Amino acid sequence: MFNLALLKATAKENIRLILAIGTVMMFYMIMIIYMYDPTITDAMKQYLDALPAELVRAMNFDMVEPTFTGFIVGYYYGFLIILFPMVMIMILSYRLVNRMVDRGSMAMLLSTPNPRSMIAATQALFSIVASFVLVLIVVMTAIVSAKFFFEFELDLTRFLKVNIATFAYFVALSGITFMISCLFVEAKHALSLIIAVPLFFFVIQMLQKVSDQFEWLKYLTLQTLYQPNDVLMGEPYILSTLVLISVGLIGYGIGIQMFKNKDLPI
Amino acid sequence: MIQARKITMIYPSKKGIFDVDFSVRENEVFGYLGPNGAGKTTTIRVLMGFMKAQSGSASIMGLDSWNDRDKILMDVGYLPGEIAFFDSMTAMEFLHYMLALRRVKDKTRLKQMIDHFGFDSNMVIRKLSKGNKQKLGLISACMHDPSLYILDEPTSGLDPLMQQQFIQLVKQEKKRGKTFLMSSHSFEEVEKTCDTLAIIKEGKIATIDKVDHLLMQRTKVFTLLLENMHDVETIRAAGYHITHADGYRIDVRVEGDFKAFFEVIKKVNVLDLSIQQQRLEQVFMQYYGKEHDHV
């Protein structure tokens, strides 16, 4: 199914990228937690009111519940939680497939008697694990910071639900970019789409939030299926989460299949 | 061992290989000669299962190159034309990694190869010279002791000493029953190791022949400095084509039978003699002109 030697080597090659993104995300989480002060959440709201309303809405800084958990989900999970992992997903997609083909290192891999599907599946697995690691870093940071540094009450159950939905979104997004990398194999073709597609979803989501007029845009972006505030407030999220995971797995599956049958100029 | 049956594979740029047909027998050292862009690497890509022939078929050890590539590659050692490694690894880490990918545990062959090539395997790949990178590639092609070697320009980047080591390696492996397919753009290189040679140009096979046979037909151009016009006339009268004459310094084209030529020049006063290396183009011109059907 998977090649362990490849998995280890890929992990070694990409650990620094993952930790770098993870560190940035950890930093922002700590910063947002630090900003939480039950007495001044109103002041926070006033501060945000001073900014143009469209900008605030676009960035999804929307605290639906004036609790600590609500604060975190409102300010971290609208924007930051997507931005940095999105960059990592783009870079990984490129590194796991296209860069190897372009450089010729794929030739060394494919000169071994490992089925192409196994090689592609191993890269896909790593991609999913990388997303999981990011979510893990964020969750651990929140739990540890809340408990030990600030003694705030984090509603663990609901917080974890939000993060499950978040992970599902990453699986979907990375599945789509993986599929793109395998569809277009050569870096020059794949790269523009790998960057454009996630960015498109991201930007459309921002625009859609700006005003009611743009609500129809929600049909154009994958992020519609990922609404962390709704998850927090107890709205049904299982279906959209399952859809996201399916989209991801289908994307990976198509990618692996494409890779099996591609002519590779290596 | 290898059967290439009328393989056609055309890139979107319209370049490619057309109706390439040849076979490599077991324990044969088969040379695949052609200029850059002729289609050598394309042919190898089809044989290795990297690309699928658009028409025709390629099989190795009786198995289809595209559909059964996983089985075939168990027993093939491959050296790509452009070696790309994982720069941050050391040479040894890379070799162990390749063995691990292949799930090969036996490291004896690896140790033998490292000793044979004399190699500092603890250096980071990024810092290796081109020659050492090429050696590393060769080691990684040999270390799992395959029956068939497919090598794309194996001596590129190697200095003459290392080239000699490579030639010895091929001869040793041949004695052990191994088969080779190696591509090159240097006639000098293949003539020292190969039994059979296929020449490819612009995607088509120009000729396939035993190397001995080709050598016999090879043209060399000798530059002779003679003493007088009578000498020059003697050469001309013997039927040799004088391609260039500058006073008593003449270029004489001699095909194949050098013994007869030496008999002739014994009769004249040769003040100086040198041999022009035959360029690949000249080899091709020769083989395009003749109709060969030797396989």
* Mean pLDDT along residues A157-165: 95
Do A111 and B76 count as a contact with CB atoms less than 8 A apart?
yes
Lowest mean pLDDT among A47-56, A91-100, A120-129: A47-56
Whats the size of chain B, residue-wise?
Answer: 295
The Cα–Cα gap between B100 and B84 comes to 18
Where does the pLDDT of residue B277 fall: very low under 50, low under 70, confident under 90, or very high at 90 and above?
low
* Mean pLDDT along residues B86-94: 87
Position with higher pLDDT, B120 vs B27: B27
DSSP B124: B
Compute the Cα dihedral for A263, B86, A7, B143 and give only its sign. Answer: positive
Do B101 and A114 count as a contact with CB atoms less than 8 A apart?
yes
Position with higher pLDDT, B111 vs A66: B111
* Mean pLDDT along residues A84-98: 96
Q: Which residues pair with B249 in a beta bridge?
A: B225, B246
> What percent of chain B clears pLDDT 70, i.e. is strictly above it?
93
Where does the pLDDT of residue B85 fall: very low under 50, low under 70, confident under 90, or very high at 90 and above?
confident
The Cα–Cα gap between A73 and A142 comes to 11
Which parts of chain B are beta strand (E)? 2-10, 16-24, 29-33, 55-60, 63-64, 76-79, 148-152, 179-184, 196-201, 204-210, 219-226, 241-246, 249-255, 270-276
pLDDT score of A66 more than 50: yes
The Cα–Cα gap between B257 and B268 comes to 18
The answer for B 246-285 residues in CB contact with A (under 8 A) is none
Average pLDDT, chain B: 87
Interface test with chain A among B8, B47, B70, B101, by most A beta carbons within 10 Å: B101
Range A144-148, long-range pairs (CB < 8 A, 24+ positions)? A145/A29, A145/A30, A145/A33, A146/A33, A146/A68
Sequence letter at residue B214: L
Instruction: Give residues with Cβ within 8 angstroms of A10, minimum separation 6.
Output: A96, A122, A123, A126
Strongest mean pLDDT among A49-58, A62-71, A248-257, B192-201: A248-257
Interface A-B, measured as beta-carbon pairs within 8 A, has a size of 63
Do B70 and A5 count as a contact with CB atoms less than 8 A apart?
no
Lowest mean pLDDT among A211-220, B24-33, B100-109: A211-220
Query: Comparing C-alpha atoms, which of A218, A132, A209, A206 is closest to residue A168?
Result: A132
pLDDT value of residue B41: 94
Residues of B in contact with A98 (CB under 8 A): none
Lowest mean pLDDT among A89-93, A177-181, B279-283, B286-290: B286-290
Do A109 and B84 count as a contact with CB atoms less than 8 A apart?
no
The partner residue sitting opposite A5, judged by closest CB among B45, B48, B101, is B101
pLDDT score of A149 more than 80: no
Position with higher pLDDT, A102 vs A45: A102
Confirm or reject contact between B199 and chain A (CB < 8 A).
no
Residues of A in contact with B98 (CB under 8 A): 108, 112
Do B70 and A108 count as a contact with CB atoms less than 8 A apart?
no
Q: Which residues pair with B200 in a beta bridge?
A: B205
Residues of A in contact with B45 (CB under 8 A): 264-266
Do B101 and A112 count as a contact with CB atoms less than 8 A apart?
yes
Q: Which H or E run includes B101?
A: helix B91-101
- Give the orientation angle of helix B91-101 with respect to helix A4-35, to 10 degrees: 110
Residues of A in contact with B73 (CB under 8 A): 111-113
Lowest mean pLDDT among A45-54, A62-71, B238-247: A45-54
pLDDT value of residue B186: 75
The Cα–Cα gap between B154 and B293 comes to 28
Determine how β-strand B241-246 pairs with β-strand B204-210.
unpaired
Do A107 and B101 count as a contact with CB atoms less than 8 A apart?
no
The 3-state DSSP class for residue B275 equals: strand
Position with higher pLDDT, A218 vs B11: B11
Residues of A in contact with B97 (CB under 8 A): 5, 9
* Mean pLDDT along residues A29-36: 87
* Mean pLDDT along residues B117-124: 82
Query: Comparing C-alpha atoms, which of B278, B281, B167 is closest to residue B222?
Result: B278
Per-residue pLDDT tens digits for B198-243: 999 899 998 898 988 877 777 788 899 999 888 888 888 888 888 8
Confirm or reject contact between B82 and chain A (CB < 8 A).
yes
Lowest mean pLDDT among A257-266, B57-66, B86-95, B186-195: B186-195
pLDDT value of residue A110: 95
pLDDT value of residue B171: 93
3-state secondary structure chain A: CCCHHHHHHHHHHHHHHHHHHHHHHHHHHHHHHHHCCHHHHHHHHHHHHHCCHHHHHHCCCCCCCCCHHHHHHHHHCCCHHHHHHHHHHHHHHHHHHHHHHHHCHHHHHHCCCCCHHHHHHHHHHHHHHHHHHHHHHHHHHHHHHHHHHHCCCCCHHHHHHHHHHHHHHHHHHHHHHHHHHHHHCCHHHHHHHHHHHHHHHHHHHHHHHHCHHHHHHHHHCHHHHCCHHHHHCCCCCHHHHHHHHHHHHHHHHHHHHHHHHCCCCC
Do A114 and B70 count as a contact with CB atoms less than 8 A apart?
yes
* Mean pLDDT along residues A185-213: 88
The Cα–Cα gap between A162 and B110 comes to 52
Per-residue pLDDT tens digits for B134-180: 889 999 999 999 999 999 999 887 888 888 888 999 999 999 999 99
Q: DSSP letters along B37-90, please?
A: TSSHHHHHHHHTTSS--SEEEEEETTEETTTTHHHHGGGEEEE-SS----TTSB
Instruction: Give residues with Cβ within 8 angstroms of A32, minimum separation 6.
Output: A71, A72, A75, A76, A80
Position with higher pLDDT, B45 vs B279: B45
Where does the pLDDT of residue B18 fall: very low under 50, low under 70, confident under 90, or very high at 90 and above?
very high
Confirm or reject contact between B80 and chain A (CB < 8 A).
yes
How far does the CA of residue A263 sit from the closest CA of chain B (Å)? 4
The Cα–Cα gap between B86 and A10 comes to 10
pLDDT value of residue A75: 87
Where does the pLDDT of residue B295 fall: very low under 50, low under 70, confident under 90, or very high at 90 and above?
very low
* Mean pLDDT along residues B19-25: 96
* Mean pLDDT along residues A54-72: 79
Per-residue pLDDT tens digits for B27-57: 999 999 988 889 999 999 999 999 999 999 9
Per-residue pLDDT tens digits for A98-126: 999 988 899 999 999 999 999 999 999 99
* Mean pLDDT along residues A26-36: 89
Whats the size of chain A, residue-wise?
Answer: 266
* Mean pLDDT along residues A230-255: 94
* Mean pLDDT along residues B96-118: 90
Q: Which residues pair with B179 in a beta bridge?
A: B148
The Cα–Cα gap between A181 and A187 comes to 8
Residues of A in contact with B74 (CB under 8 A): 113
Tell if the pTM clears 0.95, that is, is over it.
no
pLDDT value of residue A40: 60
Query: Comparing C-alpha atoms, which of A145, A180, A164, A152 is closest to residue A251?
Result: A180
> What percent of chain A clears pLDDT 90, i.e. is strictly above it?
63
Do B78 and A111 count as a contact with CB atoms less than 8 A apart?
yes
Instruction: Give residues with Cβ within 8 angstroms of B153, minimum separation 6.
Output: B40, B81, B182, B183, B184, B185
Where does the pLDDT of residue B293 fall: very low under 50, low under 70, confident under 90, or very high at 90 and above?
very low
